[in-house]
Every structure is written in C-alpha cells, then in structure tokens.
Amino acid sequence: MPVAENWHNGGMHPTPPHTRRRLAPAWLLGLLVLFCLTAPATQAAWYRQEAAIMGTRVAVELWHTDPGAARAAMDAVMAEMRRIDAAMSPRRPDSELARLNRRAAHEAVAVSAELYDLIARALRFSRLSDGAFDITFASVGHLYDFRRGIAPDEAQIAAALPGIDYRQVILEAGHRIRYGRPQVLIDLGGIAKGHAVDRAIALLQARGIREALVSAGGDSRILGDHHGRPWMIGIRDPEREQGSAVVLPLDDTAISTSGDYERFFVRDGVRFHHILSPATGRPARGARSVTILGPDATTTDALSTTVFVLGAEKGLALIESLPGIEAVIIDAAGRLHFTRGLAPPAAARPPFAPAPATP
C-alpha cells in the first residue's frame, strides 16, 4: 500500500491563545503548492509481475518506494529468465545446450563459462548422491512425451539406458565439454530454474532491493522478509491441487519442491511422471513430494530432485549430513517426514505423520 507523507510545521512555534490568527502571505502559500507539485511521490508498496518462461510460471514480488524502479527491476528479472531459457533449454534447437548435445559426442565443444560452471556444479551433486542426481537422465528422458502421454517401451529404454551416466560428461580446459558415449544427452531441468532464480535475486540485490520473492515453478528464493513478517510458504498436498500439506514461515532462504504431480500422465492405471530414476530410466517411486530449504536455489533445486529419487530414508540421511539444509518429504504412502531442524513437536504432528527419522 502506498504510504502518505505527513506534513507538519516542525520549525514553527504554536500561536499563543490570545494572539489573533493571521493568513500566511500569498507568496508562501504559492511556494508550498509548488513544492507539493514537484516533490517526488513516495509509493512504498509491494509490486508483482508474472510470465510464462522456462516452461513454467515465473513470478517476482518486491517491496519498493519507486514504482518506476520497481517495474525496471522486475523487467530485468524477466529478461534474465528469458536469457537463461534461451541458452539452457534442450528443446530449443538454437540454444547453447542443444548445440552441445548435438556435437559433444563427436568433439569437445567450447561453451560459455556460465553453462560450463553449472554443468560442473551438477556433476558435483551427482558425485555427492552416487548418481541419484544425473543430468544425463535426458538420454532416456527425451523418449517421454508428457503432453501426449507417450512413454518408451522396454526395448527403447534398454537401448538408451547406457547413456545415463554422469561420468560420461567430461569437462576439459578452456570451458570445453565432450561426451564419452554417443547416446549421452543432458537436460538441466533439475538445476537450471534454481540457477535462474539465484541470478534474479543477485540482480535485485545489485539494485539495492532487500525484500523480494522470486519463483520459477517449484523453485523460489526469499530475499529478506515480508516487510517485517515471515513469508508463509505452503507445500502442496499431492492429493489436492489447492491444499497444503505443510505451511512454513520463512525469510531469507531458498526453497524447492519436486513432486510427481507437476508433469505426468496416467496410462493403464500407471502414473508416469517426469522425475526419472537414473538407474532404471523410469519414474522414481520413493516419494510423492520433496521440499528442500537451503541458502541458494541452485542447491535446493538439485537436492529436491536428488532426494525424490533416493526416497525418504536415504534422502533424509543425505540431507542430515549437509549443514544448513532441511527437508520435508511426503513419501509414496503419503506420510510426512522432516529433518531434525524442521520436525514439529510430537503433539503438533498430524496423525499420519511419523516421528522424524533417527540418524
């Protein structure tokens, strides 16, 4: 809400009760009117902008005292999101990532420092998770079409599965990358949106903005708080599109959720969703939803996919080993699991929620 300025004559003495009030001189009234007309108006408020980018809904909300500066900041965020989408979408034939996928099995390909560094970071998450997170899932993933309800058959998966192996993405000096096998394809869908959110937050910080929320689908990052209060962030109930399984009060943090309800189709009673197990090339079945909290969205994005593939038990064990990271998991049976830092008191847990896993 805009904030009205309170004008007062702070330097004037109160008129004694026995003194007759006199009208201010005309020149003084004119000067006051001129000042009011030319003084910049303060429009301290929350400003919001949304767009469809990177195959999802992107939104930015921020607090600012200048409407023009707020719009310019939000436009910069959207431009940055579009730039990253243009570079890192595997489905855009002119993208840098698509060019890498076409050529890297035949020769080392020079790429931008940004793409090289993000792929290097993705490979570190692969090593951390022993391959549960693997950007080469696209070697099989490209055979799925979730819009038309198409899944590969057993023979197609068997032929493409050798391409899923993060160790076949070889980083060379000079920001050059090559693939060790001809079947290898990579997709940064498990980390690129988080990277884009982090880049957007960095742009806002550079403009002096200290309170904002940027989201791209299931990946969000909060800068500061909600003007003195925490943001109330709901984790969707997988069974109810408009319902929340958990609501968390948050500030100055990143949060990412991976769920089997985001992109899926049902065929012959079987639910096919987009989060694939690198070991099988088929949808992972250990969870319905995984939410990760951490210091940056690139990390939380990658870890939410990782834990979804690992399942509740192994996923919790991994997250408990990482300082500054927390998780909420809804397992395949619909039960809630929390890391120790988020676990509510026993009396506050819903009846179906188990006690937190012991380390």
Specify the pLDDT at position 345.
59
Token pair for 276: 């694939």
Asked whether the beta carbons of 263 and 272 are under 8 A apart, the reply is: no
What letter would DSSP give residue 40?
P
Cα(50)–Cα(69) distance, integer angstroms: 17
SS3 state of residue 295: coil
What's the confidence (pLDDT) of residue 129? 98
What angle in degrees, to the nearest 10, is found between the helix axes of 67-88 and 113-128?
A: 70
- Nearest-angstrom CA–CA distance, 100 and 178: 8
CB 110 within 8 A of CB 175: yes
Q: What CA–CA distance (Å, rounded) separates 134 from 137? A: 6
Mean pLDDT, 10 residues at a time, the chain of 359 residues = 33 37 44 44 86 96 97 98 97 97 98 98 98 98 93 96 98 98 96 98 98 97 96 91 89 96 83 93 94 98 98 97 97 94 61 37
Q: Give the closest residue to 185 by CA, choosing from 263, 119, 110, 90.
A: 90
The whole-number pLDDT of residue 35 equals: 43
